[in-house]
Structure 1
Amino acid sequence: MDDWLIDDERLSLERKSLLPGEGFFVPDSIEEEQEEKEVREALDGADVAVVADPDADGLAATALIREAYGDAALVPTGPHDLDETLENVAAYAEDGATVFVCDLCPDAFEPIAAELAVLVEEADDVSWFDHHQWDETVAAAVRDAGVDLVVGESDEECTADVVARSLDHDFPEYLVELAAVTRDHDLWLREDPRSDDLADYSYWTEPEEYMAVVQEHGADLPPEVEEFVAERRVEKDALVERAVERGELKEVGDWTVGVTYGRCSQNEVAEAMREEGADASVVVKPAGSASIRGTDAFERCHEVARQVNGGGHPKAAGCKPDIYDDMLDYAHHWTTQGAVAKQVILDGFRNLDPEDGASEEEEASDGSADPADD
């Protein structure tokens, strides 16, 4: 296949909105080989390693760990690649290393059980900091494996907050502020305009470049970075606008659910659909995954996501429906703007038991909910 066929730079904005990015077309085998090489190089000689989601929260958590422990090696990964990443870290970390896992929540324990057992055996200490919605049995299994797991309240803390309060270190004020500003975006509070800049910059730049900037400047990005973010945001806003225009409001049970498709920033799209009357929003991406966002009227996004190969928070979750058997399925996905994925996720809303939702709200109101809930 010619490289120009997947070159983002030559695509019109409309086509870019409908198709996945270049990385989607790289076979997993090649990507896994490259990732293993990068992990091996990152861990060479490192006594401390941080396995983290490379979003603003995961990277802020890493910045705090580096402040407390010095030059910790960063190994970026996502929840669906966690088993392979743990295996690589176990294989290439220095004997007796200290390992942290940040801002990652496994949907089940079995896929990571063997890899985690080896890592715990090889490392001197393994700690896990997160704020997602953990299944109680998964959390118990991770702790039983010998991991110090700390999960914060999802509607109060981001992972960086959890790290800041868990490590025995007197952090400088600018890094404490970085955690607070990161929380503002991660919990979708949107009270500090700097939080959107942090989130966008972490998405548009390489993890180590982002780390270098926030470790020096905290939440106050330097002028050249602000200029870069402003330039990139022009295209981002245009992609958001296209996804909003494609959106539809569906009545599903007691809820109004906004549904759309496109390569876009899901939070801004969800906010626009909320303003149009949506209690919850589903943003299906060209790569096959989807983001589910809630409101005060719908706080069960994680329950929907768990039905379709995902998980997350009551008001923010992600998933990738297991509906893609070959490239023809993806071709159908692109040409129908995610029709099958939309239907599968909407069925997840229909399958919710209203009584389960009521009981969860009662538990939360009397303070007896699982402290690991996120």
Structure 2
Amino acid sequence: MGSVTVSAGRRIRDALCTLGVAVACSLVPLMCATSEVPDVEVRSLPWRTHGGRLSATRPTGQGFRCRWDGLRRIDVALVALAPGREAELELVLRAGGPQGALLRRARVRPGPLEGQGAFVTFEFDPLADSRGRRFWFELTPIERDQPSPYSAWVRFHGQPGHDCAWGDRILTGPVIEGPLVDLEKVWSQQDPGNVPHPHLRAVAVAADHLDGALGATRLELWEEGASGAPLRAVELGAEHEVHGGWAFFSFPPIADSRWKRYRFRFSLHEGARLVGLEQGLSLKTFHGGELPDSPLAGISLGGVPHADRDLVFRAWSAPSADDLTALIVERAGWKLVACAIAWTLAMGLVLRLLLARRARGAAPPTAGS
């Protein structure tokens, strides 16, 4: 049979070609993954709670710190509470905090926003020196003579516990009491009603209309079977104005809340309307602690900060190649090096085998036995 001989020069050329292709292939997914990366991004899937119709008198805002220069765009997750209606919104960007110096304005007409809504983009002239600086933006409806059809999605810090859906009826006070449970799961016998996690730290209630300027709205909590003073009591401030959204009652965490049962009492101002099911109020519970070393500063309601929750949003800057490389190294570290080496070796082996097979098929046979 014939045998194949390959010159040393060709072997070297094939090896270099294999290495080059392997390295190029390893860089393609890396370049695609970092072609556009948000500077700051609040992720919350699924979107669970929104704050109610945006208010022109008490605007909803959010604080954050930029990682890079060139802040140029902010996307905010919104939902339409009045399908078929459209209105214009304005985003105002300030330096530092809700009362900081005005830097940029951007106006958008979001459109119908079907279903659960979508991210709405506000673009403005880039801020060349945004790296490391703290900013605050506020959303304000332009039309002040009628309620805004839009609401902003909110992520509360912590792990969700009971997660009752938005109800189908209005419940009024002056007092509403009941067990702190996920009504749908309890009545379908999926859950006995115990709080599922430790460090209970907040309760969100579905509200058709709450206005702190009209009077106090107070939540009190007791362990089931307990009497006397409440275990926790919290009152919403005058900056809260909730129309068709979730109202958050935040309090110091209850460390040993897991597997326990609680009952609540809401004391409402005149005209307040909450939302629930036939069995009672629509409630959600949240557990855990604050976010450590976060670029997020929390939301603001009418200029009053609340650091325990954030809007669902993305901020976009203009990172350089060095910025993106530093981000990759920060997030992946030595794992990235190991993956790159493994990828290069694997691609090199595959291509080397293919080239060797091609060489055997293309080279003329030499004389032999």
Instruction: Give the TM-score taking structure 2 as reference length.
Output: 0.21
User: Quick one: higher RCO (CA 8 Å, sep 6+), 1 or 2?
Assistant: 2
Query: Which structure has the larger Rg?
Result: 2
TM-score by length of 1: 0.21
Higher normalized strand content (fraction of residues): 2
